[in-house]
Amino acid sequence: MNQGSQSSKPLAGVRVLDLTQFLSGPYATMILGDLGAEVIKVEPPQGDATRTIPPNFVGEESAYYLSINRNKRSIVIDLKKPQGRELVLKLAKASDIVIENNRPGVIDRLGLGYSELSRANPAIVWASISGFGQDGPYRDYPAYDMIVQALSGGMSLTGEPGRPAVRAGIPIGDLAAGMYAIIGILAALHESKATGRGKRIDVAMLDCQVAMLCYQAAYYLVSGKVPRPQGREHDSFATYRTFEAGDGVSVVVCANTEKMWQDMARILGLGELVDDARFRTNADRHEHRSALVPLMDAAFLKRPAQEWILDFRKAGIPVGVVNTLDRALADPHVLHRNMVVNMTDEAGH
């Protein structure tokens, strides 16, 4: 699939040799293609494994495959055969970027590792995405998205307290690794264009997830307290959470300043709480959230979601409903921003 003319885009003239399958690597190369790069996707004789992932298909192609492989040209090469190896080396000589997401050592055993390709093309930017990186005690272990979500500690923060940990609803382990790979690739490409020397980029999915712990990791390192599952709350703000409105629709309110709290209390008909010593500051509300939350929950049940949303927006308080995916993809703002577009593939689908 092609998303239109590439010639005016920032990566026009850049060629990417894509040796990846499944999600993290194809997602990264798709974004590079969106930015104008020419992406040559190398597939094994049986095709990319995601071409046949059920349950949804467009023609004979899996919706999974189509979702992460636009703006690419595919070529079938058997990397295990000498002629396949020679063809990849030839393509690498004429490419700016190579990206692969095999387990460490696999691509080297095929004679197509960084040392071989950089000899053929010293300016090549080489990116490897793997579960645990090119070194370390977990180097050779297999991993997928849910494994790194679990090992990173992030999964322990997801779900309700007292219930089993749950994975994020989107594959953040794969997607984050793909995005971090893009950042490294673009930085290395910038340097390569200036110096004529390439770089090897080692992206570990687990590293990316640990990096995304952000302030949660800082909280633990400073306090020594292990964060609990977040559920529908924020661990720093009692007024930053999900509520159920009177019509059963879930509403998210993010009132994280003193003014927002005061306006929120007024809108909810709880204006007297502003002067309550238990709730005067954010620290007070955090300490006494077990008393505050039931009062807010009860207030939200008195009116339907859209009435609350109108009032909160008038007050400048961030608010929104919890959309199902069908509603999100039909949202007028999402459509206005061209986040859902109609495309036609080579088969006319």
Q: Which residues are catalytic?
A: 174
Q: Which amino acid is at 174?
A: D
Q: Which of 209, 137, 220, 226 is nearest to 172 (CA)?
A: 209
Distances (CA, A) of 282 to 61, 258, 266, 271, 279: 52, 7, 16, 16, 7
In angstroms, the CA 278 to CA 268 distance is: 17
CB atoms closer than 10 angstroms to residue 337: 9
CA atoms within 13 A on the CB side of 248: 0
Query: Long-range contacts: 35-38, Cβ < 8 Å, 24+?
Result: 35/9, 35/10, 35/11, 36/6, 36/7, 36/8, 36/9, 36/10, 36/11, 36/12, 37/6, 37/11, 37/12, 37/97, 38/6, 38/13, 38/14, 38/73
Whether residue 198 contacts residue 125, with contact meaning beta carbons closer than 8 Å, is answered with yes
* Strand partners for 74: 41
